[in-house]
Amino acid sequence: MSLSTPPPLFKRYQTPSSSTDITQQVLSTLTDLGLESNPIHFSVLYEWVIQCDPFLSNEIEQALTEQHYSDQTAEIFYMDLIAQFLGLHIPSEEVEHLLNGLQSRLDDWQNTTQNQSKAIKKGMAQLLSSPMPEQSKHTLSRQLLPLIQAILANTAQLQKAVGASSFEIRRLKQALKEAHALSRVDELTKLANRKGFNETLNLMAQEALQLQASFAFIMLDIDYFKKINDAFGHPTGDSTLRYIAKLIKSEIKGKDFAARIGGEEFAILLPKTTYQNALQVADNIRLNIASKSLKVKTHQSALSFSVSGGVAMYQMNEPIDRLISRADQALYLAKNSGRNRIKGEGSL
């Protein structure tokens, strides 16, 4: 990267407004709210003032308007902001296998050495209490016994160290488990990602066979999303994705499952749901999204958007690809029929 090209985060904060004016506005807001001018409040309100992320700016403004803004809400906004900047490096499955094997060997060693130490102590006590020549007892108690006791003491110290290592390995395994779960989450929208979706879809298909109860699959696609990115920029595009993900989550419940499976594509799984009910859920989501808008700093009018969707039902024992294909065909039928509408596989 050349020195003349600012890094991505610096690009985020490039604004035609004077940085001094922005700073003064932020400080003035902090004073009006009676809040401490710390990095958390300053960063959150700075984001609100420059509005480079319309979704986050709207959330902050809503908290300010409804007088819900506080140290607690500021921390949530701040963590949300940081989460956008940080990537997560997930340990591989080989690491998990290594940790499992290492912990198993350490546990086995601890159990074995504890049993051996007890046996040695018991044997020495029995030996010393048994009749034997005084010279042999003297040699045993003065030479061999101290040596054995030293070995046992060193073994006990090593057992403590191994115990601490085992505890650390268990902690790392828990962290790995949490990271494994996060690897199935889309970092931008906090919905499941494609990997998480594929796993859940396969599990739901297995459960459907066991219970002999089908499930519905909804595929949604944001209309004209490329135009949003081209006209407003990628930060606004990201905000749109996060906002729509929030609206989708507000329309599902219970064991319903939502994921972002592509750039502007979302998938919803509805267990134990009929075809007609799935069409209704999909249309409710469409109507909710179409009724909302997102304020963008660089444009006077708010950004409106819509989605098109396809609905299909899982057929027992069918390959998963066929289910996805039918929903995808229904989605494209909705696109080709004028967008901002839902089509089901019954229309194919």
List the catalytic residues: 264
Q: Where are the alpha helices (DSSP H) in the chain?
A: 8-12, 19-33, 39-50, 54-65, 71-85, 93-129, 134-139, 145-182, 194-211, 225-232, 234-251, 275-290, 320-336
Distance CA 196, CA 190 (A): 11
CA-to-CA dists, residue 75 to 36, 39, 67, angstroms: 13, 11, 16
CB within 8 Å of 192: residues ≥ 6 apart: 184, 185, 186, 200, 257, 258, 259, 260
Distance CA 261, CA 219 (A): 9
Beta-bridge mates of residue 260: 266
| φ and ψ of 116, to 5 deg | -65, -40
Q: Which two tokens stand for residue 117?
A: 């130490």
Q: Which two tokens stand for residue 201?
A: 């879809």
Distance CA 256, CA 272 (A): 10
Q: How far is CA 180 from the centre of its chain?
A: 9
Q: Report the relative pairing of strands 215-222 and 307-313 from DSSP bridges.
A: antiparallel
Distance CA 113, CA 90 (A): 35
Residue identified by tokens 């494994």 is: 180
Distance CA 50, CA 216 (A): 42
Residue identified by tokens 């596989």 is: 345
User: From the CB of residue 246, how many other CB atoms can be counted at a distance below 10 Å?
Assistant: 15
Q: Which two tokens stand for residue 314?
A: 């899982």
Q: Which two tokens stand for residue 164?
A: 């601490």
Distance CA 81, CA 8 (A): 14
